[in-house]
Amino acid sequence: MKNQELAERTKNSLINTARVQFTEKGYAETSLEEIVGKINITRGALYHHFGNKLGLFKAVVEVVQRGIAESIEQESAKSENSWEQLVLGCHAFVHAALLIENRRILLVDGPAVLGWNEWSEIDEHHSESRLLQKITDLKADGLIKDSISVKALTTVISGSLNEAVLWVSHAENPEQAKDEVLAVIDVMLNGFRK
C-alpha cells in the first residue's frame, strides 16, 4: 500500500472513530487516547492529520454536514417538481439531522465547540448553500413572492429547521413532534409561495 493511501485510510479511521465517540460521549467527554486506542495508532498520527482534538472535531462536523447535504440532494431528486423538491429537501434535513449519529455533533456540540461563526460557515458551505440555490431558482421561476428576499428567506428557513430539530430532539414524544414540525414546515413554505 502506498504512503498516501495509508495516510488517507488512517485519516478516515480517525474521523469515523471520533464520530462514534463524539456521538456517544460528546466532545468534552471524549479523549484523544480513546480515539487513537480504538484504532491502535499514535497520538502523533492524529496530530499530523488534524493538529488537535478541535481539528479532528471540525473534520467530523464537515463529514456530518456533507452527509446531510447528500441526503437532501437524494430526497429532492425524487421529484421533478421544483417546489416539491424544496419541501422534500427541508423534510430530508429534519430526518437526517435527527439521526442519532448526527444530532449531537451537528446541533449541540458543533456550535458550542466551534463557535457560531465557524459552525455557520460549515453549514453555509453544505446545506445552506443548496437551499440558497434552490430558493434562487424558485424565485427566478416566479414561484416565490416578489417581495421576499432570497437571502432572508434562506436564512429564515435554515434557522427554523435547525431550531425545529433541536425542539424535536428534546420533545417527550419525538416522533409526534417530528410530524408536527414537518406539517408546520409545509405551511410555512407555502406562505412564501406566489
- The string of pLDDT tens digits covering residues 16-32 is 999 999 999 999 999 99
- Say if CB 84 and CB 46 are below 8 A apart: no
pLDDT value of residue 2 = 79
pLDDT value of position 110: 94
Output the nine-digit C-alpha cell for 165: 430539530
**Looking at per-residue confidence, does 88 or 5 come out higher?**
88
Q: Show the CA angle centred on residue 17, arms to residues 16 and 22, nearest 5°.
A: 100
- Residue 45, C-alpha cell as written in the block: 498520527
For residue 80, the model assigns a pLDDT of: 96
**pLDDT score of 1 more than 70:** no
77-93 as b/e: b if 16+ CB within 10 A: eeeeeebebbbbbbbbb
C-alpha torsion sign, points 161, 163, 169, 171: negative
Question: DSSP state, 51?
Answer: S
Flag whether pLDDT at 77 surpasses 90.
yes
Is the pLDDT at 193 greater than 90, yes or no? Answer: yes
Contact call for residues 163 and 178 (beta carbons, < 8 A): no
Contacts of 102 (CB under 8 A, 6+ apart): 64, 67, 68, 96
- Looking at residue 124, its pLDDT comes to 87
> Which of 145, 147, 158 is CA-nearest to residue 185?
158
Domain boundaries, position 90 = 2-192
Number of domains in the chain: 1
If DSSP codes are grouped into helix, strand and coil, which group holds residue 144?
strand
Mean pLDDT of the chain: 94
| CATH number of the domain that residue 74 is part of | 1.10.357.10
Residue 14 pLDDT: 95
pLDDT tens readout for residues 33-43:
999 999 999 88
pTM of the predicted model as reported, rounded to 2 decimal places = 0.90
Asked if residue 84 lies in contact with residue 40, where contact means CB atoms within 8 angstroms, the answer is: no
According to DSSP, residue 176 is labeled H
Q: Are 104 and 64 in contact (CB under 8 A)?
A: no
Instruction: List b or e across 126-153, with b for residues whose CB sees 16 or more CB atoms inside 10 angstroms.
Output: bbbebbbebbeebbeeeebeeebebeeb
Q: What is the pLDDT of residues 3-17, one digit of tens each?
A: 888 888 999 999 999
pLDDT tens figures, 135-180: 999 999 999 999 999 999 999 999 999 999 999 999 999 999 999 9
Beta-carbon neighbour count of residue 39 at 10 Å?
15
